[in-house]
Structure 1
Amino acid sequence: MENQLDRISAVRSLAELLPLLDEIAREARDGQSTVAQRCALLRTLVLSPGLSQSLETGAAIDALVERLGPPDWIEHFGAVVDKEFPGLVVRVIDEQLDVGHLDLLNLVPAANVDVLLATLKKLGQYIDSVEGSVRRLRGMRVAMVCGALFERLQDGKIWRRRKVPACGIDGESIIGLKQKKALSDLPVAYERRVNQLQRADLRRSLEGVRTSAEPQSLPVDDYDKLFEVRSPLRLGISSANASDNHIRSKEQGGKTLNVGIDLCTADLEEPAPPLRVTARRLAEPRLVLHSRSAEFEADFEINTKGDAAAQSELFFAYNRGGDEALRMVKQALVHTGIVGADSQDVVADVGRLFGDAGIEITTASAIQQGSGLGTSSILAAAILKVLYRLTGHPAGTKEGEYPDLFDQSVLLEQSIGLNSGWQDARGAHGGPSAVKDFYAPPTNGLPTPELSYVEVDAELFRRRVILFDTGIARGATRGLNVVMEAYLARHRHRYGAIRESLAIHDRMVDALRAGDYSQLGQMASRYWQLRCILDPEATNPAIQQLFEPPLSELTEGGTLTGAGGGGFGLLIAREGEEEGLRECLKKLKDQRAYARSAVVDYRLDATGLQLTEHPAS
């Protein structure tokens, strides 16, 4: 027995393990092993570091169960699973092992309800034993497991004489569902709880950097000024496939590589910053908001002429699903303390800081959201920058901008249900080079990315890296992000893509530093393949044309920026094929899917968000 345990601990692949599994199955059938010995074998198998490293624990579990078959598995390992399974689930979560909970559930016979109930109880006890950030982050994985367990516990007969067990991560919604025994709603509710726990941890993490100072009144000298922020967008070359997600950064570290860029959009002769936010004080007590985006326009105004409570309710309509176009700037007014979170008189709140007068804010974007260029996140940072300048917050100054402004922009987006990462807005930060390589080490607190600038030949970059607007927008993620789901579930077939994405990131950085665009193209293509493994909806037959002949014959490789599914393609032209690639891309416009597409001229922008002040006209 000791020899078997040592051999399981030493294996590095499933192929090494299979002969040993045959031996274990044979001894179990022949009665040559005790329950205690089989318990030790199961623990060693599930917790094997070699199998976890090769992501083959799930396959090993399946192989063992298959060798015995359902009847013999229940006979010889049923008691083992009853005894060991709840504790193994907790250990996998607590030790952050790369073992999927769905793979673990393959150990449990379908009719074994008692072990599932015992696991719910064990998870509740575990959550009660941990505190702070650990409770919230491990709680995200606990929520995933609870959702899967309740998927299997839908039979109402199970609960006739039982209460649905509580868990320390349950929010009000889940508590209410459990009281009503609304079992069919619990799996989805726990999925939503994952995002809620991440947002809660992000807020707590930011408490350490958020200034406690109240917003200051606008100085009289600034009454007649127009404040304007212009910003580049960020061309994301790599995020190691969403490693800038909050929980992934905290637990495993995150890496991103992006470039600040200006774009040549409609009516422009040369590239310019695509985002613009302006603010000015109004002499009358009113709040006026304008949105001038590439895909829509919206306006909002409230003043002292109407009922204050009714107008305030209209302002907060975005919290109830309305006023999509202006929700970012409205929430930014709340975020910065200009408007109270539960204000019954929004106009009065504004007047308190602006000399019993009002304010007009206009946001403008030359690029539609869903482009994959960080538009929403950078717009959040630009809005906050101008509002912080108006209210005397240090993040509104050039010296105080980094990193506080970008941390706050993440929190702002999270507060309206957008799942952005820390790199999205940071891509617009200025410095010695437009190309920025970030690394956020694992941490128990707020991820603090270390910034390195990558020197490149800007003209060579522009010549070899072709930017193609597919004209296809992909909406921002509001549910459980598929990459985060693969991470938390340690999905057997998709989690490996997360691992490999981190591994090739540094090779992409090295290729850029060396000006090796052939290597960069190869890495970009592999990166795109990994993205599609993680999220099959990132691509479709139309998008895949960008990576197939005849286009692929003109490129070294490429990817889509952002989450994929549309937005901008980043294609690395082969030396001497730059114009041929541009012409070939332009011909795609004849296809219905690419009717709104365009090859986009751009330039690298190292200046970042620029705030200027002018006399208001």
Structure 2
Amino acid sequence: MIIAKSPVRLSFGGGGTDLPAYYEEHGGAVLSVTIDKYFHTVLQEIPGREIEISSSDYQLHQRIADLDQANLKDALRIPKAMLRHFGIRSGVLLQLKSDIPPGSGLGLSGAVATSLARALGAYAGQALDKAQVAELATHIELTVLGRPIGMQDQYASAHGGLNFLTFDASGTRVEPVALARERLTELRAHLMLFHTGSSRDSARILEGQRQATSGRDQSVLDALHRVKETAHRMREIVTTGDIPSIGRLLHESWQQKKRFSSKVSNPEIDRYYETAMANGALGGKITGAGGGGFLLVFADPSAHTGISRELTALGLQELDFDFEDGGSQITLDSAGRFKATITPEGYLLGMRAVVSRLDKRQIGRIAQLLHEAYEADKQVFIMGNGGSAATASHFCSDLAKTVAVNGRRGFRAIPLTDNIPLMTAWGNDVGFEDIFSGQLRNLLNAGDVVIGISGGGMSPNVIKAMELARERGARTVGLTGFAGGRLKDVAEECFIVPSENCQFIEDVHMMLVHLLTSVVRERLAGDQGIG
């Protein structure tokens, strides 16, 4: 499994001057910062010749037998183009999820493209740097897909942080703007974001702007020149000037931006903006191309409570956010190692990808095996090391107590992990690989169940105990991950979590404990006719 994340961006000034129709002749400039709202890509190998793409944002899941023939539209055009670029045509599941709604004006499509470039590039064995990720994402969106959008989103998302981006016919340059932490904190403290509850089609708005620019509409060109000038002034102020004056420049820039197209604003947006200004805002704008999405408000922190109260009363939702400077990153590599700070959403999405590939029929078989052992009054022994030892103890507790229904007994479940004196005696006097098998020699009978838990399936003490169990005629169940290790060869049923990450493997093992306990308990209740 590979997990990648890419941040969205918040543009302060210069938006619109990053379109080729403008910058190829006049040069463009944008001041922007990335925020801690991400687009996540989870890539997982799957058996077979299909590609599977699952999008939480659009509530869709597609299985694609032939990528070239697939008629993918809208949200899935970028994944399709990126898969084709890397020559990946089968055996992959992509799970996609954003922290913000589509059509938000925060450069989400750029984050989609950079996140996919990161994940698929890593899968293809290509270690892309930030500039290469940005260039590839831009190529896919603008050249391959022909989207009439600007250049800033992909570069901002790939690089991360506060940057001054310039554009001309020779290319795009990213210049990080270094600020002292105190000054960056002051800038953040003045900002508020509110979702208007509506999305917009940025491509349609930007296409109108492109046509006006190409047609040399002087009103639009003058507005773009002013917006570019504002970006330069903002850059100077943010480094050496009075931070609150950025709010006034935002206000000036918003007035110019509304000249780009009649679709940039509307009476409802004007009402939101005027409400913010009436309650102490110094300036603001609708993010991105305009028309909907998020309203950025710049105000002294003392005015935030009142602005928030008035805008939420109008139905807007405030977004809590902070700046980030990591850019597009691999958070979990193919070896199961966390490479960067993973967000809760990214972790849970990774877990969701693992859980979606579990063998439900095998879970049923293991539950049936336990049910049969209960009915035959057999013992259940469970073992593991480290985190797996904790899971083994928990599993025994649930089997002994939680499954008991209507006054009947629970399982005769024995955790081989809990008798510390006996384990240390075996370990000290004989060897650590004997701490479980030594206990089983005195207790195990034919038909009993022995469950071995090992994340990698290679724990010598677990393997030795499982081999003894088979010799004694016991039934054996293994819980593991990775490729199953040696455990898969010595267990009657070996449940392999499809992951190379130990945290995910241990999480699923604990989930499986609760699932098996619940299933067996319900079967026992059904045996007694309990509803």
Range of TM-score over shorter length:
0.5 to 0.7
Query: Residue 246 of structure 1: CA displacement?
Result: 2.3
Per-residue deviation, 1:609: 1.5
Give the aligned partner of residue 260 of structure 1: 34
CA contact 2:200–2:292 (8 Å) conserved in 1: yes
Residue 388 in structure 1 maps to residue 121 in structure 2: yes
1:587–1:515 Cα change, 3 Å: farther
Matched, 1:423 2:177: no
Contact 1:472 1:566 in 2 (8 A): yes
Partner of 1:316: 70
1:229 has 2:4 as partner: yes
Q: Is the 8 A contact 1:276 1:364 kept in 2?
A: yes
**Secondary structure at the residue paired with 1:603?**
coil
Tell me how far 1:427 sits from its aligned partner. 1.6
* C-alpha distance after superposition, 1:182-230 (max 9, x if no partner): xxxxxxxxxxxxxxxxxxxxxxxxxxxxxxxxxxxxxxxxxxxx10002
Partner of 1:436: 163
Which residue of 2 is the match for residue 581 of structure 1? 307
Report the Cα distance in structure 1 between the residues aligned to 2:260 and 2:206, rounded to whole angstroms: 13
TM-score by length of 2: 0.59
What pairs with 1:75-114 in structure 2 (closer than 5 Å)? none
CA distance, structure 1, for counterparts of residue 178 and residue 151 of structure 2:
19
Structure-2 residue corresponding to 1:559: 285
Give the TM-score of the pair, scaled to structure 1: 0.51
- One-letter amino acid of the structure 1 residue matched with residue 78 of structure 2: M
Alignment partner of 1:503: what SS?
A: helix
Shift of 1:575: 5.1
In the alignment, the residues of structure 1 paired with residue 34 and residue 198 of structure 2 have an alpha-carbon distance, to the nearest angstrom, of 22
1:476-491 equivalence runs, <5 A? 476-477=202-203, 481-491=207-217
CA gap 1:480/1:255 in 2 versus in 1, 3 angstroms: closer
8 Å CA contact 2:21, 2:214 repeated in 1: no
Q: Over the residues paired in the alignment, what is the CA RMSD in angstroms? A: 2.1
* 2:326 corresponds to: 607
CA contact (8 A) 1:545 1:551 kept: no
- 1:437 Cα deviation from its structure 2 partner: 1.0
The Cα shift of 1:606 comes to 0.7
Q: How many residues align?
A: 333
* Aligned pairs for 1:53-72 within 5 A: none
Give the Cα separation in 2 of the matches to 1:420 and 1:289: 24
Alignment of 1:175-574 (within 5 A): 226-238=1-13, 240-262=14-36, 273-293=37-57, 296-302=58-64, 311=66, 315-318=69-72, 323-339=73-89, 350=90, 358-395=91-128, 400-402=129-131, 404-414=132-142, 415-430=144-159, 434-440=161-167, 442-443=168-169, 445=170, 447-455=171-179, 457-477=183-203, 481-514=207-240, 516-549=242-275, 551-574=277-300
- Rounded to whole Å, the distance in 1 between the matches of 2:152 and 2:45 is 32
Give the drift of 1:372.
0.6
In structure 2, runs of 5+ residues without a counterpart are 337-499, 506-531
Cα 1:317–1:552 shift into 2, 3 Å = same
Displacement of 1:492 in angstroms is: 3.1
**CA 1:586 to 1:517, structure 2 compared with 1: closer, same or farther past 3 Å?**
farther
Q: Structure 1 residues 312 and 386 mapped into 2: Cα distance closer, same or farther (>3 Å)? A: closer
Quote the residue 1:46 is aligned against: none
- Matched residue SS, 2:101: coil
Deviation at 1:608, TM superposition (A): 1.3
Q: Is the 8 A contact 1:467 1:599 kept in 2?
A: yes
Q: Match of 1:316, as an amino acid?
A: A
Q: Which ranges of 4 or more aligned residues in structure 1 deviate by more than 6 Å?
A: none
Where is the strand percentage greater, Structure 1 or Structure 2? 2
Mark the structure with the bigger radius of gyration. 2
Change (3 A) 1:448 1:365: same
Structure 1 CA distance, aligned partners of 2:153 and 2:287? 11
2:133–2:158 CA contact under 8 A, matched in 1: no
**Secondary structure at the counterpart of residue 438 of structure 1:** strand
Residue 549 of structure 1: how far off its partner (Å):
4.6
Instruction: Give 3-state SS (helix, strand or coil) of 2:134's partner.
Output: helix
Structure 2 CA distance, aligned partners of 1:513 and 1:552? Answer: 29
Q: Is the 8 A contact 1:494 1:533 kept in 2?
A: yes
